[in-house]
Each structure stands twice: as structure tokens, then as C-alpha cells.
Structure 1
Amino acid sequence: MSKPTTVAAKLPTKWGDFTIYALEKASDGKEHVALVMGDLDSREPMLVRVHSECLTGDAFSSLRCDCGPQLEAAMQKIAELGRGMIIYLRQEGRGIGLINKIKAYALQDEGMDTVEANLNLGFEADQRTFEVAGEILDSLNISSIKLMTNNPRKVAALKAENIDVVERVPMKYGRNPHNESYLSTKHGKLGHFLD
């Protein structure tokens, strides 16, 4: 498989200066980005967060999920370390898209949990895939990482892409009264590593 082509630019943020890489030819046909701080050439494992797009949580600070706080915590951890990467995958709403995500929200307002809502709409509980994250890491010549995640599927997917996940770094941020049921469902039905 050929590596996706990338374009890069500087991206100053409140956490410091990153380089943003946009992937033009990922295997899934979508445009994804990687935010990188520090040396890509180091032989030390790179601290990495694989983050799926969440407009409501990342941009609008929704309290229904923990996505926004996890993204911010990852950026802060990377800034404190001075080296790391966030892979931002364009797979909104656990892979069902924005409109269907809002439909799932409406079903949750009626009492369904996130898994039940997705199934009711005719989707799998979680339709996301993470193989493209392996492509992105490979395109940037990163083969050994410390992965910031609570999701065992991300760990398994990256290992299947021949990425050496030397450590899983827990991401327990953003718990609040509005997302208790959501987090319980992630733990109980999707197997996420949460208390």
C-alpha cells in the first residue's frame, strides 16, 4: 500500500506550537490530520492520541460525552512533554456521521443509551475503524508509541497495523452528571477501560 501524501504547516495553539499534517490520500478516502509537537525522528516511543471527530464535544463543549476534555488533556500532556501527536480522524458519531449522531442524541433523550440508539438506527454500536491511524503513523515514520486511550479496540487495531504500542496511557477526563450513563455504556457495553 502506498503511503498517503501529506501537507504540513505550523499551527500555534494555546498549548504551544504544533505542526499540522493533513493527509490527502488515506485509504478510506477521507481527509485526516495529525498534530505533532517535537521531534519525529527520535527513537523514543511517541506519545499519541487517536481522536475521532466529535463536533459537539470538541467544538461546542458538549457535556454529553468526554471527547472535548480528552482532546484538550491530550494536547496539554503533549505540551508538557514537549513531544507527541494527536491523530484526528474524520469519523463523526462513532462512524455514523453528524446527522445520524443527532438522531441518536434524540433517541437518547427518549431513554436509550448510545449503543441502543445506534442499533435502533440500523448501525453497529461503534462503526469506527482505526487502521488509517496506522497509515498516518507509518507515513510519518512512527512505529513505536505510547497510546493515550481507554479503548481496547484502538490498541488492537494499531498493533494489527504493526505499530508497537509499548504503553496504554489512561484518559479519564470529562466525567460530569450529564455523561454518567454514556460513560457507563462505554465501559459496560463497549469494554472501555473506565472505573
Structure 2
Amino acid sequence: MADMPAATQRARVRVPLSFADGYRVDAELVTFHGLTDGAEHVAVILGEPAGPGAVPLVRLHSECLTGDVFGSARCDCGPQLREAVERIADRGGVLLYLRQEGRGIGLYNKLDAYALQDQGLDTYEANAALGLPEDDRDYTAAAQMLRALGITELDLLSNNPDKAAQLDGLGITVHDRVPTGVFTTAHNVRYLRAKVLQTQHTLALGELTDLTAG
């Protein structure tokens, strides 16, 4: 297991959440001291555990301003966030909202990559053309957050095998990787196909029909 300093809880606050489709749920937001990357990541605690020893459902959700806030159809981040909140609330668990815009490259670089995608490159080719990694995310801070919350075993709500692999390497036991839904639009189908082909996301290629935006 990688050497990892301990983080501690900084503050906890109850926040009622409300989504555009009318779904509402109460959450507890937790902030932290001592995260290795110094970013302001937040844990969103949802629902109640099924009982003593129950394994929580956890999602590591990387911040996406364009998708989460503005409803961009170029990715599936907004729908995944909405789905994750309800599924975790129903079962009991935590959503870690990680400040890792653009798979860790930042907002401006992500928008530069979008411009290259408009010229025909896929999401990973665009990053490479900018001299940036395909995925620059490190989940050490996520593991710190989980340990600070007393979570060392979980089911992971994700299509991304790298998240499970990194958590396992950081001493967090992932019992099961639970797939998210497939949220396809005419604007994101090439993006989703690239995730399957380049980084082995568990999305059924048959569901990603050719919905090209023209």
C-alpha cells in the first residue's frame, strides 16, 4: 500500500439538495484537513446504511463545470451525478466530489481540448495534441477522505476500472464495481466510445449507437 498521511474531518453541514427534475434529498457535506493535493474536495453523505457492517455505495465524481452545472451534452457527467446521488441515497453511502476538472487537466485545458475535438480528434487524442496526459487523476486524496470517514471497504459506482485499481492500491477494498447508466446524446457518443476503446470503461458498445451530431 502506498504511504499515505492521514486526513481529518474539518466540518460537517446538512444541505438539502434539489435537482432540476424535482428530485430532492438531504445530504451531509464533509470537508477535510490534510488532503495531499491541497484541493477543496467534498464528501457528500447520503442515505442510511442498511445495518451494522453494511458495505456503503461510493462514487468518485470528478468535477465537471460544463456538465454538472451548465448541463452540457458533450459528456455524461451531469446525468451520472444526478443518478449517483439517488442511487447512493437509496442504499446509503458517499459521493466524493473531487475537484479534478477535465480528468485532472483543468477547465481551460479541457475547453482547448474541446476545440480540437471539433476538428475531429477524440477526447484522448485532443489531450495528447496539447501535450497533456489522457487522464491525470490521482485518487490518493479520495482514499484519505474515505479513511477519515471510517470507510475502508465499499462498492464502487463507476464504469472506470482505474478508479477501483487505484483505491485497491491505496488500501481501500472494492468489493464490487457497480456500473452507472449509459447516458448517450448525439453530442457525446464519440466521447463515450473513446472511453470504452482507450481506457476500458465498462459501457456496452452496442448501446452507443451512431448518433453523430453532424
Contact 1:22 1:31 in 2 (8 A): yes
| 1:44-193 equivalence runs, <5 A | 44-81=54-91, 83-193=92-202
Offset from partner CA, 1:147-188 (integer Å, 9 cap, x none): 000000000011111111111110123211111100000000
Aligned-residue Cα RMSD (Å) equals: 1.4
TM-score normalised per structure 2: 0.87
1:37 to 36, 46, 68: 46
Q: Would the alpha carbon gap of residues 98 and 161 (structure 1) be closer, same or farther in structure 2, given more than 3 Å must change?
A: same
Structure 1 runs (4+) greater than 3 angstroms displaced: 38-42
Q: Would the alpha carbon gap of residues 148 and 108 (structure 1) be closer, same or farther in structure 2, given more than 3 Å must change?
A: same
Offset from partner CA, 1:102-133 (integer Å, 9 cap, x none): 10011111111000110111111111111211
Contact 1:31 1:90 in 2 (8 A): yes
Contact 1:69 1:173 in 2 (8 A): no
Q: Would the alpha carbon gap of residues 173 and 42 (structure 1) be closer, same or farther in structure 2, given more than 3 Å must change?
A: farther
CA distance in 2, matches of 1:46, 1:179: 30
Residue aligning to 2:209? none
Can you give the 5+ residue segments of structure 1 that lack an aligned partner in the other structure? none
Alignment-mate amino acid for residue 97 of structure 1: G
Q: Which moved more, 1:7-16 or 1:66-75?
A: 7-16
Offset from partner CA, 1:50-94 (integer Å, 9 cap, x none): 00010001001111001110110000112222x111001101001
CA distance in 1, matches of 2:182, 2:82: 9
Contact 1:6 1:24 in 2 (8 A): yes
Shift of 1:38: 3.6
Larger radius of gyration: 2
Secondary structure of the structure 2 residue equivalent to 1:165? strand
- Whether 1:9 aligns to 2:13 is yes
Alignment-mate amino acid for residue 47 of structure 1: L
Contact 1:36 1:84 in 2 (8 A): yes
Q: Give the percent of matched residue pairs that are identical in Structure 1 and Structure 2.
A: 44
Alignment-mate amino acid for residue 32 of structure 2: L
Contact 1:24 1:31 in 2 (8 A): no
CA distance in 2, matches of 1:4, 1:27: 12
Q: What number of residue pairs does the alignment pair up?
A: 194
TM-score normalised per structure 1: 0.95
Shift of 1:39: 4.6
Shift of 1:101: 0.6
CA distance in 2, matches of 1:135, 1:80: 25
